[in-house]
Amino acid sequence: MSDIKDIGSIFGVLEDLENVKLAEEQMAMKQQQFNEAQKLKVEAAEKTKNYNLTKENLHDRREENEVEIARLVKEIGNWNIVAQDWSNIDDKYGKGKTEEGKAILEELGLVYGENFKFKESASLDYAEQLNNTQNLITLQEEIINDLTSKQNEILRLHDDWAKVGTEAGIKAIKDTDDVKAYIGQNPEKFLNENNEFNQLGKALMKEKMSPTDKYGFVDKSAVDAALAALDTSTKTEKEGIEQSWNDEASIMFKDVASTEQLLKNDDDFLVNAGGRVANYEGREELYSDPAAQEQLISSLQDKIMKTFLMSAKNERSFRNTDIMKKINAMEGKSFKNKVDLMKQVHDLVIPSRESNEPIYGYKDKIWKSEEMEDIDLASGLGGQKSQELILKKWLSVFGRLHNKLYK
């Protein structure tokens, strides 16, 4: 009995050992399953982390590219150029409207947007979504490269601006007229097939809004300031010329008045001519005014004409001279015709300051035409010498006024 009991105890122990072993194996299996589950969990978490990181990085790059594209569009726009009209991106992708353009964008998982604002198509598959975003970034970089190259073309126009001269506009002032002249010399670069400004032509014509404006070449404010200074200078010069003329005219009429004092008021010469011109002495308000100048010319022309006609009556030999024939032909003619004739008479009988022509006249030789040897002005209380001298003064002043008014 004792032996049987011992054998039973042995089997019991063996059974316990099996149970223990089975339990250990089950525990090991569970541990392995736990470890594998943890590993899968870690891998899933890592994949999620990597996806989120990739998505975030791509999103950041996309946003940065959008900002850069917007900046380039604005920079180019500051030169009076619509970037979308200049770029070939829209043409390349058919503005997203042609079948070919749509097919390209659909294959890339992109959607067309105005003014370079393309978007990626939405997808429930994260891998496809990331791929669409990556394709968008690739397209954005193509747009950036294209716009950057065009911005550089504009910046290189500074070399052309340096070559623009001042031939077309005002000397020493570089303005739009000079730019147009330069463009006309380089039409293949700045004009399109319709002979209109192309994009570079528009950029070169761009005016600065202010002296500190970096967009543009012609500094309009500087040009306006230069023109204002030039206008002031011209006005000052003109005023100086007018004052010089007023001084000259004042001296002329003072000289005439002084010469007229050689005759008394009742001298037939003065009476016949309608009196003296002394009342014009010191009348500066008359000298520079065209209407007043014409009045002075008319008055002198009338006195001179009457003087010649009177002389023709007094001296038969002078009546048939060429000068008198011309004067007689003026009867009934217009004021302009008479003034033109009197200028011819002036040029015929008044010696030039620069010439060494022989001169003629009574006693003092004061005429350059031999015909004036026959003129006879003496009558009444006057003398031929004084009368000839007054006539010469009238003619000289007439000629100077004529040159001033009709030059």
**pLDDT > 70? residue 203:** yes
State both tokens at 152.
């550089």
Higher pLDDT, 401 or 239: 401
Residue 129: predicted pLDDT: 80
Q: With beta carbons less than 8 A apart as the criterion, state whether 199 and 209 touch.
A: no
Phi, psi angle pair for 367, to nearest 5°: -115, 150
Q: Which residues contact 296 (CB under 8 A, 6 or more apart)?
A: 280, 286, 401
d(CA 199, CA 197): 7
Residue type present at position 250? S
**pLDDT > 70? residue 389:** yes
- 């500190």: which residue's tokens? 212
Mean pLDDT of 72-97: 81
Burial class, 134, CB count within 10 angstroms (exposed 0-12 / middle 13-18 / buried 19+): middle
**pLDDT > 70? residue 207:** yes
pLDDT tens sequence across 2-44: 555 556 566 565 666 676 677 677 776 776 765 665 666 555 5
Strands 218-219 and 207-208, how do they pair?
parallel
Domain borders along the chain are 12-155, 259-406
d(CA 9, CA 188): 113
DSSP state of 351: P
d(CA 251, CA 262): 18
Residue 192: predicted pLDDT: 92
pLDDT tens sequence across 268-299: 888 888 888 866 666 666 777 778 888 888 88
Residue type present at position 316? R
Phi, psi angle pair for 257, to nearest 5°: -60, -40
Residue 96: predicted pLDDT: 47
Selection from 355, 382, 383, 381 nearest residue 367 by Cα: 355
d(CA 213, CA 81): 16
Q: What is the mean pLDDT of the chain?
A: 79
Residue 361, CA distances (Å) to 222, 263, 391 in order? 62, 19, 12
Highest mean pLDDT among 78-82, 125-129, 216-220, 332-336: 78-82
**pLDDT > 80? residue 308:** yes
SS3 content of the chain, % helix, strand, coil (to 5): 70, 5, 25
Residue 180: predicted pLDDT: 92
Residue 58: predicted pLDDT: 79
Q: With beta carbons less than 8 A apart as the criterion, state whether 362 and 388 touch.
A: yes
Mean pLDDT of 49-77: 81
Mean pLDDT of 171-176: 76
pLDDT tens sequence across 210-255: 878 889 888 877 776 666 666 655 566 566 677 787 788 888 888 8
Higher pLDDT, 359 or 187: 187
**pLDDT > 60? residue 349:** yes
**What band does 154 get if pLDDT is binned at 50, 70 and 90?**
very high
Residue 251: predicted pLDDT: 84
Residue 104: predicted pLDDT: 73
**pLDDT > 80? residue 163:** yes
For residues 164-177, one letter each, b for 16 or more C-beta atoms within 10 angstroms of the residue's C-beta and e for the rest, the string is: beeebbeeebbbbe
